[in-house]
Amino acid sequence: MTPLDHVVRFTLDRMAEHKRVLSRRRKVLRVAACAFAALVVLGAGAAGYAYFKLNGNIKSVDIDARLGTARPPSATDGSFNVLVLGSDSRAGGNGDLAGGDTGDTARSDTAMVVHVSQDHSRAEVVSIPRDTLVARPDCTDRNGKAAPGVRRAMYNSAYETGGAACAVKTTEQLTGLRMDHYVEIDFAGFARVVDAMGGATVTTTVPIHDQDSGLDLAAGEHHLDGRQALAFVRTRHGVGDGSDLGRIELQKQMVRSLLQQAGGLGLFSNPVKLWSIGDTLTRSITTDSALASVNSLVGLAQELKGIGPDQLSMVTLPVAAAPGDPNRVVAQQPQADQLWAALKADQALPQAVVAAQPGNPAQATPTAPAKAPVTGPAGTAKPSARATAPR
């Protein structure tokens, strides 16, 4: 074989080897491409399943359809209001957690008007005591029958009478503000959400022992699970003067604790935790129809992501003892109207209202009398606002 033949043979062998290498690479690339495509399809399928699963969890009420157009107008500056209710229903798993008996009805045991500012950088929260006497407008009851309005009714009876729509209508009449959104959670739902978030930390300077709620805490810092957190926000008789106003202060402390907890979860870096909380939350709430989708809830969360405990101002509606009924309260004027006017104008809470807020009984000075009265804006004693039925 001549030198030229060797060169030719070498060249042909190299070309053959090159083709084999290319062939192997193509096979590897094809396998990789197929695997990637499979992952994309599976990922899309999982994402699609998650989306439809979470969407299917959410219960909703079409508030706009039920109330029509005879409502306060929505703000045009970007601010908005959300009515958040805690239902005391004993249905389903709520009975084991709540105790007591409300029959087959439910009331709005907790009510908060959340005002989000124009630039979504802060929020003001106004708690409405459940025993506040208000004028309840005409509503439609749960059976679709007309429920004529009354001049004096407990605020929480509106939900009992006509559900979410009647509660929203009553709140709008009381405040003069449009409730752009509605969110409701019951006992069992609240406990599930707290557990999904990993619990909540609270601090009390006095021991709390409440047989009605089942809460038994020594003074100090405590990390509560869902059942304990529910007992904490329902506690009334075991701390302070036993009033509903004191219980509202405990609820405010819990809201701040949960906001702090949510800020440290790092949900977007922990998809397993994100899924767990998303699934639990969507199974636990009822919303207005405009919020009843994952996209809408995520959009709302994005709008509120800059609001933490330091950007949250929380007050209780100023109230005074109802004439002739020490177990009920009425909105105190002119402070109540000044409060709603500030929210309507997207302004800070009136300082006179903030300065006269009740104290948190869990943060009382340990040496202070256990039943010390709480003074109102005019220096008068605030009512105990004790409900006649155990809750």
Q: Is 114 helix (H, G, I), strand (E, B) or coil?
A: strand
The pLDDT > 70 percentage for the chain reads: 73
Mean pLDDT confidence for 93-113: 59
166 and 105 in a common domain: yes
For residue 17, give its domain range. Answer: 1-57
162 and 31 in a common domain: no
Domain end point (choices 14, 30, 57): 57
Residue 100 lies in a domain: yes
Instruction: Give the integer Cα–Cα distance in Å for 215 and 230.
Output: 9
Q: What is the pLDDT of residue 30?
A: 62
Residue 251 lies in a domain: yes
User: 184-238, pLDDT tens digit by residue?
Assistant: 999 999 999 999 999 999 999 999 999 888 899 999 999 999 999 999 999 988 8
Which is nearest to 350 in space by CA: 358, 339, 341? 339
Give me Rg for the CA atoms of the chain.
Answer: 29
79 and 20 in a common domain: no
Mean pLDDT confidence for 147-174: 95
Q: For residue 208, what are its two tokens?
A: 């709390």
Start-to-end CA span in the chain (Å): 106
Q: What is the pLDDT of residue 114?
A: 97
49 and 21 in a common domain: yes
Residue 155 lies in a domain: yes
Q: What is the pLDDT of residue 381?
A: 36
85 and 46 in a common domain: no
Domain end point (choices 38, 57, 76): 57
CA torsion angle for 109, 115, 121, 122 (degrees, to 10)? -60
Query: CB burial class (10 A; 0-12, 13-18, 19+) of residue 150?
Result: middle
Statement: residue 92 has pLDDT above 60: no
Q: Dihedral of CA 356/358/364/367: which sign?
A: positive
CB distance 210 to 228 below 8 Å:
no
Q: What is the pLDDT of residue 378?
A: 36
32 and 172 in a common domain: no
Residue 380 lies in a domain: no
Before 3, cis peptide (omega within 30)? no
CB distance 58 to 282 below 8 Å:
yes
Residue 389 lies in a domain: no
34-43, 77-86, 102-111, 182-191: the lowest-pLDDT one: 34-43
Residue 66 lies in a domain: yes
Count the domains in the chain: 2
30-39, 59-68, 186-195: the lowest-pLDDT one: 30-39
Integer angstrom CA distances of residue 47 from 59, 271, 283, 294: 21, 11, 18, 12
- The DSSP code for 364 is S
272 and 148 in a common domain: yes
349 and 275 in a common domain: yes
Statement: residue 161 has pLDDT above 80: yes
337 and 192 in a common domain: yes
Residue 111 lies in a domain: yes
153 and 282 in a common domain: yes
DSSP string of 356-375, one letter each residue: TPPPPGGGS-TTS-TT---B
User: 298-307, pLDDT tens digit by residue?
Assistant: 889 888 888 9
Residues 6+ apart with CB under 8 A from 146: 138, 139, 140
Residue 368 lies in a domain: no
Q: For residue 359, what are its two tokens?
A: 């104290």
202 and 229 in a common domain: yes
1 and 53 in a common domain: yes
